[in-house]
Amino acid sequence: MSSAFTFKLLATNGGARLGEIETPHGIIRTPAFMPVGTAATVKAVYTDQLAAAGVDVILANTYHLMLRPTAERIASLGGLHNFMRWEKPILTDSGGFQVMSLAKLRKITDDGVHFQSHLDGARYELTPERAVEIQCLLGADIMMQLDECVALPAPREEVERAVARSLAWAERSKRAFEHYRGQGLARPGQALFGIVQGGIDADLRRRSAEALAAMEFPGYAIGGLAVGESPGAMLETLAHTVQWLPADKPRYLMGVGTPVDLIEAVARGADMFDCVLPTRSGRHGQAFTWGGKVNLRNARHADDPAPLDPASGCPAARDYSRAYLHHLVKAEEYLGAMLLSWANTAFYQQLMAAMRTAIGEGRFAAWASETKARLGAGT
């Protein structure tokens, strides 16, 4: 276990960055895509399959885990890594975003957020301090401050108020994290990221980024995007925001996205990503490939002996015919969701690995335009 959280910027190519984050559970090669393991499992995928696919880090959801099985229980069972048998880095969100999208009867004040569990209606309070405590109990390598994320479009006043509140919560989160570190609940090398808010308002984004940068977080998330704005506005806001963030710290664009989104965001300087798309699509019969998205429900695959990708290193993509995958999806068999979630997870890692190689070789722009054309082909 390493005892220092560090980020090494190894190369840049246009806006794109190649780097390495060192965490207590190992290295994260960036740009990195984090599969989502909401409830302490990346749905339908074994952790061995994640590691073999090249996954360096997964994301887990504080909101789900605080409700069930609870952070205290996971701590008493040796932490989230041990609980779910994943030895590499874990990043946790703060829970705030999912309280706003999933919980019932939520009420947000300057102090924090009150809500009722979507599972059983039980009442909870999540403050910046409690969100950090939960993430320390889980044993996350990278934690997120509690923030307020506004669905877009939204009036400027509302976005501005959320920025102010999120900055106040960033301060409190940082203090809480230092407190828990002093207590030994947070261990050396674990890190807390601040989250930039501000909707698609350039001025608010700058204000949020600069204020957070002044607090000297070891990394910065860009939140409040992919929440209703156009893809163009998202990318423009991203490109604008990164200018006001320190170049020597990792930048995590939350909740993004499709393969093309990832390429565009890497081109604009984002280093880390998470999204449910590869696993959720897998459960719905869709595969991501270098030739674009493949809908295995489509009858055209019923007699096709070809695999998703004969050149893939992933057995799910390489060794099973499209005809068999089509059959499994139509028959609603577990194995269909299992194979497609695995194949998609592996494809996303191949995509990130290809980006890292292209950046390292100084040909990211050419690679990106060629790859976007291939991905757009679809099938």
- Name the catalytic one among 56, 147, 274, 309: 274
Give whichever of 28 and 42 is closer to a copy of itself, judged by the CB atom. 42
User: Is 271 in the active site?
Assistant: no
- Peptide bond connecting 278 to the previous residue in cis, omega within 30 degrees of 0: no
Order across the sheet with 104-108: list the strands: 104-108, 113-116, 123-126
The span from the CA of 325 to the CA of 336, in Å, is 6
Answer yes or no: are the C-beta atoms of 316 and 53 closer than 8 Å. Answer: no
Taking CB under 8 A as the rule, which mask of x and - marks residues 297-326 in contact with a copy of itself?
-----xx-x-------------xxx-xx-x
Give whichever of 68 and 374 is closer to a copy of itself, judged by the CB atom. 68
Q: Evaluate the CA torsion angle 367, 59, 233, 292 in order and state its sign.
A: positive
Q: What angle do CA 85, 258, 307 make, to 5 degrees?
A: 75
180 counts as binding a copy of itself under rule CB under 8 A: no
CB of 42 to a copy of itself, least distance (A): 8
**Beta bridge partners of residue 221, listed in sequence order:** 195, 252
CB of 44 to a copy of itself, least distance (A): 4
Answer yes or no: are the C-beta atoms of 5 and 189 closer than 8 Å. Answer: yes
77 counts as binding a copy of itself under rule CB under 8 A: yes
334 counts as binding a copy of itself under rule CB under 8 A: yes
Give the residue, chosen from 8, 73, 175, 363, that forms a contact with a copy of itself under the rule CB under 8 A: 73
The span from the CA of 301 to the CA of 345, in Å, is 21
69 counts as binding a copy of itself under rule CB under 8 A: yes
Give whichever of 218 and 285 is closer to a copy of itself, judged by the CB atom. 285
User: Is 304 in the active site?
Assistant: no
What lies within 8 Å, CB to CB, of 163 at 6+ separation is: 197, 198, 204, 207, 208
User: Which of the ranges 1-9, 68-76, 183-191, 257-265 carries the binding residues for a copy of itself, by CB under 8 A?
Assistant: 68-76
Which residues in this chain contact a copy of itself in the complex, by CB under 8 A?
39-41, 43-46, 64, 68-69, 73, 76-78, 83-85, 302-303, 305, 319-321, 323-324, 326-328, 330-331, 333-335, 337-338
The residues that are catalytic are 93, 274
